[in-house]
């Protein structure tokens, strides 16, 4: 896809905004839409064009990128009134939201014949979105993936083609299950150590120098949890949703995976207890309450 491509970017939140800005830095023409007027103003101030609606953004765009909260919102934006048909025939849809793989395949079936679809969710958080160093998991045909690669490369340093449409979102859910399980293990380890009289920071230091090291111990415990900042930029409700997506996928495939089920149940309860809008590193507060 050449730099002359017109890109509609729908969803300029904490992750979407830096991703859209990286496309601008790479020389692409970006027209954005978001329900937040502040986000639209911020994009305009950085050289992007803004649209009055998602439909207006899609009109005439060679590429549509959706970075929204879930697949149901994506479907409502694209399908209501056949809005996706405002884009030229054979335009490329990059569905980068955290959606369920079954929803993605359903959406692709509904828009096929007019749009080419690649699901391409990301992992890495706000800092890596700003840096352009996200990990990106893509699902789609070889031809559509190759067409999308130059655009994805402006937002991500690590791009993995996982298979046909839907496999990107399946991989994202699987990844977040492992991430969420790692948070549970790290927080419980720190709370266990503290109860025995160990210094919490010392527990983290030893884990990070030993076989217990994981993403939570490396980039979350000291930086966001023990520091008390709780500012990773990823909401607890979104983590719970992604892990539940993995659990639902497992059930639909007839698998019995008690570890996944229990992890999903814990994150769902944490979201109910603390509220889904809080940072996911607040899971520490949830588990701490269980032991008090």
Does the annotation mark 25 as catalytic? no
Domain ranges of the chain: 6-164, 170-291
Is 3.40.50.720 the CATH number for 6-164?
Answer: yes
Q: What is the pLDDT of residue 5?
A: 85
Pairing state between β 134-139 and 122-123: antiparallel
pLDDT per residue over 193-228, tens digit each? Answer: 999 999 999 999 999 999 999 999 999 999 999 999
Which of 142, 141, 82 minimizes the C-alpha distance to 114? 82
Question: Exactly one of 172, 202, 220, 241 is catalytic; which is it?
Answer: 172
170-291, which class in CATH? mainly alpha
- As a whole number of angstroms, the distance between CA 91 and CA 85 comes to 10
- Are 6-164 and 170-291 the same fold in CATH? no
Q: What is the pLDDT of residue 125?
A: 86
Residues of the chain with pLDDT below 70 are: 1-2, 292
pTM across the whole model: 0.93
pLDDT per residue over 12-62, tens digit each? Answer: 999 999 999 999 999 999 999 999 999 999 999 999 999 999 999 999 999
Which of 179, 5, 158, 195 minimizes the C-alpha distance to 91? 5
- As a whole number of angstroms, the distance between CA 187 and CA 37 comes to 38
């Amino acid at each position: 896809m050449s730099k002359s491509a017109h890109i509609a970017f729908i969803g300029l939140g904490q992750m979407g905004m830096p991703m859209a800005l990286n496309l601008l830095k790479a020389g692409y023409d970006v027209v954005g839409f978001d329900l937040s007027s502040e986000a639209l103003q911020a994009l305009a101030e950085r050289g992007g064009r803004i649209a009055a609606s998602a439909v207006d953004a899609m009109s005439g765009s060679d590429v549509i990128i959706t970075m929204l909260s879930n697949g149901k919102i994506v479907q409502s934006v694209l399908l209501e009134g056949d809005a996706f048909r405002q884009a030229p025939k054979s335009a490329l849809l990059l569905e980068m939201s955290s959606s369920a793989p079954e929803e993605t395949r359903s959406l692709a079936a509904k828009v096929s014949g007019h749009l080419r679809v690649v699901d391409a969710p990301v992992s890495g958080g706000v800092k890596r979105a700003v840096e352009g160093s996200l990990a990106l998991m893509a699902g789609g045909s070889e031809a559509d993936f190759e067409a999308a690669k130059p655009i994805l490369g402006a937002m991500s340093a690590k791009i993995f083609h996982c298979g046909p449409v839907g496999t990107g979102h399946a991989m994202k859910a699987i990844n977040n299950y492992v991430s969420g399980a790692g948070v549970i293990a790290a927080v419980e380890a720190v709370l266990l150590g503290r109860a025995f009289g160990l210094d919490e920071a010392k527990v983290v230091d030893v884990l990070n120098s030993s076989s217990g090291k994981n993403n939570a111990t490396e980039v979350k415990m000291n930086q966001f949890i023990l520091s008390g900042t709780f500012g990773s930029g990823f909401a607890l409700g979104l983590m719970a949703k992604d892990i539940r997506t993995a659990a639902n996928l497992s059930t639909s495939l007839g698998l019995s995976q008690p570890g996944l089920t229990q992890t999903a149940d814990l994150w769902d309860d944490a979201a109910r207890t603390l509220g889904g809008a809080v940072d996911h590193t607040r899971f520490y507060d949830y588990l701490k309450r269980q032991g008090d």
